[in-house]
Amino acid sequence: MADLTTLTAPEARRLLVRREISARELTRAVLDRLQAVEPDVRAFITLTADEALQQAGGADAALGTPGGDPQGTPLLTGIPVALKDLFCTRGVQTTSGSRILEGFVPPFDATVVARLRAAGAVFVGKTNMDEFAMGSSTESSGFGKTRNPWDLQRVPGGSSGGSAAAVAAGECLLALGTDTGGSIRQPASLCGIVGLKPTYGRVSRYGMIAFASSLDQAGPFSVGVEGSAMVLQAVAGLDPLDATSAPQAVPDYLAGLPGGIKGLRIGVPKEYFVPGTEPDVERLVRAAIAQLAALGAEVGEVSLPYTDYGLATYYIIAPAEVSSNLARYNGTKYGLAALDEPEMVRAMELTRQRGFGDETKRRIMLGTYALSSGYYDAYYLKAQKVRTLIKGDFDRAFERFDVLATPTSPTTAFRLGEKTQDPLAMYLSDVCTLPVNMAGLPGINVPCGFDGGGLPVGLQLIGRPFDEATLLRVAYTYEQSTDHHRRRPGREVMSQGPGVDGGVVPAGGAQETRR
Amino acid sequence: MHLEEDTANLKHVRDATGETYSLMDVNRSGVALMEIVGEPDIRSPEEAGACLRELRAILRYIGVSSANMEEGAFRCDANVSLRPRGAQTYGAKVEVKNMNSFRSVVRALSYEIARQTEVLRSGGRIVQETRGWVEERGVTVSQRSKEAAHDYRYFPEPDLPPLFLDPTWVAEIRARLPELPGPKRTRFMAEYRLSAEEAATLTDSRALADFYEEAVRQGAGPRAAANWMLRDVLRLLNTSGTSIDGSKLTPGHLAGLIALLDDGRLSVRSAPEVLEEVFRTGASPEAVMQGRGLEQVSDSGALEAVVAQVLADGRNGRAIADYRAGKGAAMGFLVGAVMKQTRGTANPGLVKELLAQKLDAGG
């Protein structure tokens, strides 16, 4: 048996159901791998190894019930999953990447966590992220920086960088992240894996620590498209606890994967090859689009003229919602509290001063300003109108096309520290993804090759509202015609990991992948 | 109108040493709260009071709230802005808070109108601000001026998408609504020939109105039932501190009592005593009347003996002589004597008739 941590989720599912491996073996292999590479990758804020082994034991019991039906067990039974640290987990610290929430232990599970639990998932831990999901490199985390498993000198992207890096490094088979302006798709692109942002409303946000409520959406990371379909299947659908979750029926995503893309109309928005797009990125994305055409799709160019305004509009709306959502962190309810200060208002100010990082403070200030009386009309109200225009661009494009194809990120993974001093440069890495959030549409990243330096490049596919099924089918069809997804970071070194008989990988294996 | 959750209540306290501090009562946290904002079309403190009373009655009728102001289940902030005669627009708006009863609302608004009038008359300017009513001193004091007002940075809450109410559901609720206080008052006036004030009192609560109508339905005359309710029943409720639906008195009791009066079996004089015991014990008026021996004696055979006894009593000689001398007023004294003898149970009309017969015959 080869290294279990290189299995994709559907492969693991098949082996588990056939009882060729046990959930405990799989979980132990993943935990050993995690122990070996985590000192380099640093994808996690909190590990829940004991709980994981316990859950794996439960999964084995379910799979191995004498006379039982392993095929009938829930889809994720015994599969190790990592959760971005902004999903509330009952009894397990949840920080949203911020020191202000250090020590906060939620008394309840987010709906997505409860649904994954019900689907049999094994939780290995809570992953690192930009503070309150605000960032594109995971460097704004209050809990250290995560490294890209393809090159430890580079960022994994963000804000769900921990989840993306963990999946890429084999520290889990699947992960859940959130995407407000690209926070699933961009790190998936930079880490060379699949990441899906569902339609706004497709997945419940209950128990998911809010960044920008009108934009946030939870979604999966996986190696291979099928794994993301499995997670979406488990978490999608109406939740009475979230008024923004949608009542639309959830189709069978896995059944919809095969079928090909013959005759499907794919539009290529010309504005998405922005200045600053790396030549390798443009070349590989265009090659991927050509490949889609070769697979039977009808490809044509389309214009989304308001694309230029996406970034500016996003950086008014998102911070405005941040300034409201983050008002609750004043030391009286959760996490950090400046108890050394006796005066109440001063204690709240000190709590926020100490607990929030620079990027968070910057966005609170931006949002506070944009919503102030006298500026509301000029900024927030105008931004909402532009948002409608951006959505109109997409509506018109979807009259002619079923799916749009673009680069996910203009660049491959950049170096740690490269953009931390230049917020605007950092913001630009989401220029292709954030209009999709503004329009509430589903988007997926699928790996489409490697640049000259061996860093992964991602193709973004954008779909109609609630048409994740088509996105997944296009991504799957493309993936099956390439072998990008078979290439894993540093496998030749790191695959000394344990087989079914267990064993320990020496720490620092991932270091070998440094260039 | 908007719906929210209640937060907490601040209580500002001064201790024995004069130190002031604030207590936070969070017992109401999370309780559903509905805020209703009206148009600026109320013209006097009394109108404001009447409007609040009507609103409270409606809320109680439809059972959404106890709407008790003292308990904070019904609260009011009021805006006052004056418009000098001839001016086209209203002056700056002053919000008055911290009023804990209808009476305080009327008093606070009267004070605020007088204060603003005084300021304007003396050439001053009204600034937009929030003022708090200080009940003990009967004044409003400035709490927050617009310059120092918070910029709340309101914006549409993305977590609350537009709410679409199913028209069938709305129709269902509309069909379930009880008759509201206004229409009920009008109907009471027309149907039972009550004055506006009587109708208002009887419809003040749904339970009281239902009690009244049920008594009428069980045969009590609308006029008599209204009289007994407005006078004796309300007094009994007030002094005992019970509510109409918590009392032992039933509409059947009231109808029974009135029937006893109508049949001449119970005297108007004894009736309050009977009602009081019925109210206290829940026994039927008939039983109480019998138990206390208060049934009116209307049997002339039984009364004739008493009449004869009274006329034979030397202490009544003077009155008898006066009557015979044409002083009709003396009859009252003699009737009283018979009533006294029968402990009030004699039918006074019959007694008078028998006395006249005897005296006129013996003359």
The CATH number linked to B324 is 1.10.10.410
pLDDT of residue A514: 32
pLDDT band at A169 (very low <50, low <70, confident <90, very high): very high
Q: Is A361 exposed, middle or buried (0-12, 13-18, 19+ CB in 10 A)?
A: middle
Residue B109 one-letter amino acid: L
The tokens for B72 are 């904070």
Q: Does A314 touch chain B (CB under 8 A)?
A: no
Q: What is the pLDDT of residues A219-242, one digit of tens each?
A: 999 999 999 999 999 999 999 999
- Strand-by-strand arrangement of the A80-84 sheet: A44-47, A122-127, A80-84, A174-178, A218-222, A194-197, A443-450, A456-463, A403-407, A265-269, A298-302
> Is there a single domain that holds both residue B199 and residue B283?
yes
Q: What is the pLDDT of residues B282-320, one digit of tens each?
A: 999 999 999 988 887 777 777 888 888 888 888 888 888
Active site residue A189: no
- Domain boundary pick from B111, B140, B175: B175
Answer yes or no: is pLDDT of A287 > 70: yes
Torsion of CA A323, A329, A330, A331, to 10 degrees: -170
- Do the domain assignments include residue A45? yes
Answer yes or no: is pLDDT of A366 > 80: yes
> Is there a single domain that holds both residue B216 and residue B194?
yes
- Do the domain assignments include residue A289? yes
> Is there a single domain that holds both residue B148 and residue B186?
no
- Do the domain assignments include residue A331? no
- CB-based contact A89:A52 (threshold 8 Å): no
- CB-based contact B271:B227 (threshold 8 Å): no
Active site residue A270: no
Q: Given A214, A323, A373, which is nearest B158 (Cβ)?
A: A214
> Is there a single domain that holds both residue B233 and residue B88?
no
On chain A, the residues whose CB falls within 8 A of the CB of B157 are: 213, 324
Residue B225 one-letter amino acid: A
CA distance A164 to A186: 9
What ipTM was estimated for this complex?
A: 0.81
Q: Does A209 touch chain B (CB under 8 A)?
A: no
pLDDT of residue B343: 78
Answer yes or no: is pLDDT of A390 > 50: yes
**In chain B, how many domains are there?**
3
> Is there a single domain that holds both residue B325 and residue B255?
no
Task: Kindly give, in sequence order, each residue whose CB lies less than 8 Å from that of residue B150, ignoring residues fewer than 6 positions away.
Answer: none
**In chain A, how many domains are there?**
1
CA distance A35 to B73: 58
Answer yes or no: is pLDDT of A494 > 90: no
User: String of b and e for A270-305 (b: at least 16 CB within 10 Å)?
Assistant: ebbbbeebbebbbebbbebbebbeebebebeebebe
pLDDT of residue A386: 97
Of A30, A223, A12, residue with least CA distance to A125: A30
Of A142, A43, A56, residue with least CA distance to A84: A43
pLDDT of residue A44: 98
pLDDT of residue B141: 93
CA-CA distances (angstroms) from residue A367 to A178, A370, B165, B264? 21, 5, 32, 82
Q: What is the pLDDT of residues A57-82, one digit of tens each?
A: 999 999 988 788 889 999 999 999 99
pLDDT band at B362 (very low <50, low <70, confident <90, very high): low
Q: Which residue of A has its CA nearest to B158?
A: A214
> Is there a single domain that holds both residue B188 and residue B171?
no
Answer yes or no: is pLDDT of A510 > 80: no
- Do the domain assignments include residue A21? yes
The tokens for A26 are 């799989």
Residue A280 one-letter amino acid: D
* Mean pLDDT within A431-452: 97
pLDDT of residue A68: 81
Mean per-residue pLDDT of chain A? 93
pLDDT of residue B152: 78
Mean per-residue pLDDT of chain B? 90
- CB-based contact B199:B185 (threshold 8 Å): yes
Q: What is the CATH number of the domain that holds A439?
A: 3.90.1300.10
Share above pLDDT 70 across residues of chain A, in percent, rounded to a whole number: 95
CA distance A433 to A361: 23
> Is there a single domain that holds both residue B334 and residue B191?
no
Q: Given A210, A244, A368, which is nearest B161 (Cβ)?
A: A244
- CB-based contact A152:A511 (threshold 8 Å): yes
- The whole domain housing B34 covers 2-175
The tokens for B101 are 């009863």
- CB-based contact A173:A208 (threshold 8 Å): no
Q: What is the pLDDT of residues A182-204, one digit of tens each?
A: 999 999 999 999 999 999 999 99
Answer yes or no: is pLDDT of B105 > 50: yes
* Mean pLDDT within A203-225: 98
* Mean pLDDT within B196-206: 94
Answer yes or no: is pLDDT of A269 > 60: yes
- Domain boundary pick from B291, B324, B342: B291
Indicate which residue of A141, A159, A245, A323 is catalytic.
Answer: A159
pLDDT of residue A491: 54
SS3 of residue A481 by DSSP = coil
CA distance A173 to A121: 10
> Is there a single domain that holds both residue B315 and residue B224?
no
**In Å, how far is A444's CA from the nearest CA of chain B?**
24
ω into residue A159 within 30 of 0, thus cis? yes
Active site residue A159: yes
Torsion of CA B109, B111, B112, B116, to 10 degrees: 140
SS3 of residue B80 by DSSP = strand
- Do the domain assignments include residue A352? no
Answer yes or no: is pLDDT of A324 > 50: yes
> Is there a single domain that holds both residue B44 and residue B128?
yes
> Is there a single domain that holds both residue B167 and residue B261?
no
pLDDT of residue B11: 79
CA distance A304 to A271: 7
With CB atoms and an 8 Å threshold, state whether A244 touches B158.
yes
Answer yes or no: is pLDDT of B147 > 70: no
Of A95, A117, A98, residue with least CA distance to A106: A95
* Mean pLDDT within B23-35: 90
- Do the domain assignments include residue A514? no
Answer yes or no: is pLDDT of A122 > 70: yes
With CB atoms and an 8 Å threshold, state whether A373 touches B153.
yes
- Domain boundary pick from B291, B314, B339: B291
- The whole domain housing A187 covers 4-66+75-308+386-501
Q: Does A244 touch chain B (CB under 8 A)?
A: yes
The tokens for A369 are 């300003």
Task: Kindly give, in sequence order, each residue whose CB lies less than 8 Å from that of residue A364, ignoring residues fewer than 6 positions away.
Answer: A319, A322, A323, A326, A356
> Is there a single domain that holds both residue B152 and residue B17?
yes
Indicate which residue of A22, A84, A163, A222 is catalytic.
Answer: A84
Q: Does B155 touch chain A (CB under 8 A)?
A: yes
- Do the domain assignments include residue A314? no
Element (H, E) at A284: helix A279-294
Q: Given B153, B157, B159, which is nearest A368 (Cβ)?
A: B153
- CB-based contact A444:A433 (threshold 8 Å): no
Answer yes or no: is pLDDT of B64 > 50: yes
pLDDT of residue A511: 34
pLDDT of residue B148: 52
The tokens for A415 are 């170096």
pLDDT of residue B121: 93
The tokens for B54 are 């009507």
Answer yes or no: is pLDDT of A513 > 70: no
Q: Which residue of A has its CA nearest to B149?
A: A373
